[in-house]
Amino acid sequence: MNKVATIILNRNLPEPTEALVEHIRHYDGDNTDVFVVEAGSDEENLSKYCTWHAAWDDAKKHGLRYARGMNYGLAQLWKEGIFSQYSAFFLLTNDTEFENRQTIRPLMNILEEHRRVGILSPCSPRWGERFLLNREPTKYFWFIHNNALMLRREFVEDICNHEEPDYMHFLFDGKNFRGYCNETELIAKAYVNDWAAAITNEVHVSENESHLLNKADIIKTESYDENLKLYIEEGKQWMKAKYGFKSHWYMQQYAKLFYDDFFKLRPEYHRFQL
């Protein structure tokens, strides 16, 4: 099996980024190559593991956020001709934290077992979804948080924009700057194209929110509360303009419609349905 490409997004916080890189290399070094996207970081705050530095004016001023940052990293792999060398892509924000054990190998084992899963996420001990993963440790969902997503290469190839492999268009919609419902849009695209999205309780993940709460000035972003307000306001405008939906509930029902259709076409996966 080919390796996984792990892409970590950083903006001006080299310490947690480097700790995450070193954690992955220690526990999963044989299973992955790690790439760090510097999303408009200042020169003095680049991680020592920097792979690509988004240093154009707009990136330096506003950052890239999740959608544009992951697009950028994936598009760079595509442009450099090494995209097809990987079986999957593990997309991480630098505030992601794992247990002191292997993460990537267990996730890849699950992808091997679940051949139609295109999107796979570890579960967080803080998520309500964990209560649905008692009898079956892996279930298929129509909504997943986006701080740690494993994407199967064939799934990405099915839905990515081959014509415009750049930070705005490759996989996520870069016009949705703060990422409101971008994971729901990705999941809907998965089910439309006969791929499933799953959460597993066999691997756990946590998000360290203290970085945004305490270091927003260093990251050069708004405060946590202001960022949340803009996330919703700007996201609703994007969603209304693109889909005509007035609420994220409509967006989730849109994804669930295709989720339900997936099991009608593939009844052999009913045991993994909620």
Residue type, 162: H
Average pLDDT over residues 126-130: 93
Over pLDDT 90: what percentage of the chain?
88
Mean pLDDT of the chain: 93
Per-residue pLDDT reduced to its tens digit, 240-261? 999 999 999 999 999 999 999 9
pLDDT of residue 219: 66
Encoded tokens for 5: 């490409």
pLDDT of residue 21: 98
Average pLDDT over residues 73-100: 96
Residue 14 near residue 44, CB atoms below 8 Å: no
pLDDT of residue 212: 56
* CA 94 to centroid of chain Cα atoms: 12
Domain CATH code at residue 174: 3.90.550.10
| DSSP conformation letters of 196-259 | EEEEEEEEEEEE-THHHHHHHHHHTS--HHHHHHHHHHHHHHHHHHHH--SSHHHHHHHHHHHH
Q: How far apart (Å, rounded) are the C-alpha atoms in residues 93 and 49?
A: 15
Per-residue pLDDT reduced to its tens digit, 20-44? 999 999 999 999 999 999 999 999 9
Per-residue pLDDT reduced to its tens digit, 174-229? 999 999 999 999 999 999 999 999 999 999 999 876 655 566 667 667 777 888 89
Host H or E run for residue 65: helix 65-79
- CB burial string 42-55: b at 16+ within 10 A, e below: eeebbbebebbbbe
Average pLDDT over residues 128-146: 94
pLDDT category of residue 238 using cuts at 50, 70 and 90: very high
Number of domains making up the chain? 1
Can you give the pTM of this predicted structure? Answer: 0.94
Residue-range definition of the domain harbouring residue 60 = 4-272
Tell me the CA distances in angstroms from 120 to 13, 76, 148, one per residue in order: 26, 22, 9
pLDDT of residue 208: 76
Q: How far apart (Å, rounded) are the C-alpha atoms in residues 91 and 37?
A: 11
